[in-house]
């Protein structure tokens, strides 16, 4: 992989630079703004990402601590407490994922190097088109998830707080995105109010960027792995013809190239698992409660005829469901593609090969019998079945919550 950074080397893919910018641009913008995306900066700039991470974590703490104090000491209404507890849990979840991604930056860099190396070595135009197809799928999933998340976040932070009058003891107060403990009365005085509001907006940006960025990172790496598996499948289908190989290679060398590519994908998937398993575990553990609470908020605002609140919470609900769906969909896609290799090994004209060459498929068949999986903390596989279980569990909790509160 060191050849990727060799300035004197020539890439086999003439469109290498353009392709890399295309697949990395969106994720580098989102995670780079949070100091998570690994970049090569020398001098004092190499500490910039650490400074950014500290600043955004302080912004999260600036919203979490006063909100927690407000829930404990000030708020008495059970419905408002539920709304604020959901908000607080969301903030804490985002902070946890942020810290995990910050710790996993070396592993993220390793995955990026894997992706760059694969694009660097593309030889055939059909292989590049195949890789671009899967890269576009991951990019489109990221764009949709980011759009839902940011639109809902903008409404929640910049429109919803100003749509209703806020009074305490018949005195109108200026609204804030996150509630503040009553003892901090200075938060209503300019310019402290403006500073607090900006800090709350920074907190919101951090929350939505971490959530969308984690799903985007999973989509980027997993769809790339699927593209590499599809290339292996194409090589297996053309093993005897040799169209997908250098003309100088014999059958045994072609099989060796296929096995080498398969092993590389498996190793890449293992690194992806290391990067994402804790983030996915936190995401799934929190999503059941968050989706349940958002469903409850939608019901309450529907009954209260609060259209803006209903729209905001419904968009948040859709964005959360879609983020979980992205993780489960790409996990399902990776399992399906990796198990497909075994089927293709059997479907090709392997009987036309020499017995010695045919025996080489035994290990490939054995490995494809254990498809590559992405898990949530090694406790649950990311699959569409898991997505269905998350929705069913959230509805069960919603039924319990309605019985308890209403």
Task: Say if 5 falls within a structural domain.
Answer: no
CA 128 distance to own-chain centroid: 24
Q: At 232, list the tokens.
A: 């292996």
Residue 285, Cβ neighbours under 10 Å: how many? 16
Coil, strand or helix at 168: strand
State the DSSP H helix or E strand holding residue 205, giving kind and residue range, or none if neither.
helix 192-237
pLDDT in the model for residue 241: 77
The pTM assigned to this predicted structure is 0.87
Task: Say if 50 falls within a structural domain.
Answer: yes
Q: Which domain holds residue 393?
A: 15-405
Task: Say if 3 falls within a structural domain.
Answer: no
Write the pLDDT tens digit of every residue in 213-270: 999 999 999 999 999 999 999 888 888 776 767 766 788 888 888 889 999 999 999 9
Task: Say if 6 falls within a structural domain.
Answer: no
Task: Say if 116 falls within a structural domain.
Answer: yes
Task: Say if 10 falls within a structural domain.
Answer: no
Task: Say if 269 falls within a structural domain.
Answer: yes
From the list 255, 4, 244, the residue with the least C-alpha distance to 125 is 244
Tokens 């310019």 locate to 191
Average pLDDT of the residues in 66-87? 83
Write the pLDDT tens digit of every residue in 342-373: 888 888 877 777 888 788 888 888 888 888 88
Q: At 55, list the tokens.
A: 């600043």
Residue scoring higher pLDDT (163 or 22): 22
Write the pLDDT tens digit of every residue in 92-146: 999 999 999 999 999 999 999 999 999 998 888 888 999 999 999 999 999 998 9
Task: Say if 182 falls within a structural domain.
Answer: yes
pLDDT in the model for residue 7: 39
Question: How many domains does the chain divide into?
Answer: 1
Rg of the chain over Cα atoms, rounded to whole angstroms, equals 25
């Amino acid at each position: 992989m060191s050849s990727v950074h060799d300035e004197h080397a020539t890439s086999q893919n003439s469109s290498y630079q353009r392709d890399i910018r295309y697949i990395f641009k969106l994720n580098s913008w989102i995670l780079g703004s949070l100091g998570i995306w690994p970049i090569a900066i020398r001098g004092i700039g190499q500490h910039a990402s650490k400074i950014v991470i500290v600043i955004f974590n302080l912004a999260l703490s600036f919203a979490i601590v006063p909100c927690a104090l407000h829930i404990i000491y000030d708020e008495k209404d059970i419905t408002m407490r539920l709304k604020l507890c959901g908000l607080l849990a969301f903030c804490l979840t985002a902070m946890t994922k942020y810290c995990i991604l910050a710790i996993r930056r070396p592993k993220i860099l390793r995955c990026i190097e894997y992706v760059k190396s694969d694009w660097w070595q593309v030889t055939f135009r059909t292989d590049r088109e195949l890789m671009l197809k899967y890269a576009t799928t991951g990019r489109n999933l990221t764009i949709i998830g980011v759009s839902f998340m940011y639109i809902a976040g903008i409404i929640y932070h910049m429109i919803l707080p100003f749509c209703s009058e806020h009074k305490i003891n018949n005195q109108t107060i200026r609204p804030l995105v996150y509630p503040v403990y009553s003892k901090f009365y200075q938060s209503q005085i300019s310019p402290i109010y403006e500073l607090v509001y900006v800090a709350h907006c920074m907190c919101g940006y951090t929350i939505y960027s971490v959530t969308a960025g984690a799903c985007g990172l999973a989509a980027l790496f997993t769809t790339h792995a699927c593209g590499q598996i599809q290339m292996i499948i194409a090589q297996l289908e053309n093993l005897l013809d040799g169209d997908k190989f250098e003309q100088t290679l014999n059958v045994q060398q072609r099989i060796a190239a296929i096995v080498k590519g398969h092993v590389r994908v498996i190793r890449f998937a293992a690194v992806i698992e290391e990067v994402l398993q804790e983030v996915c575990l936190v995401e799934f553990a929190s999503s059941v409660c968050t989706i349940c609470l958002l469903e409850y908020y939608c019901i309450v605002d529907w009954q209260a005829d609060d259209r803006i609140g209903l729209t905001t919470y419904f968009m948040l609900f859709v964005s959360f469901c879609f983020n979980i769906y992205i993780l489960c969909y790409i996990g399902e896609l990776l399992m399906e593609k990796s198990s497909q290799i075994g089927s293709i090994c059997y479907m090709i004209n392997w009987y036309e090969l020499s017995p010695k060459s045919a025996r080489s498929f035994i290990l490939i068949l054995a490995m494809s019998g254990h498809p590559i999986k992405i898990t949530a903390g090694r406790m649950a596989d990311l699959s569409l079945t898991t997505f269905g279980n998350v929705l069913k569990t959230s509805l069960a909790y919603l039924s319990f919550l309605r019985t308890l509160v209403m």
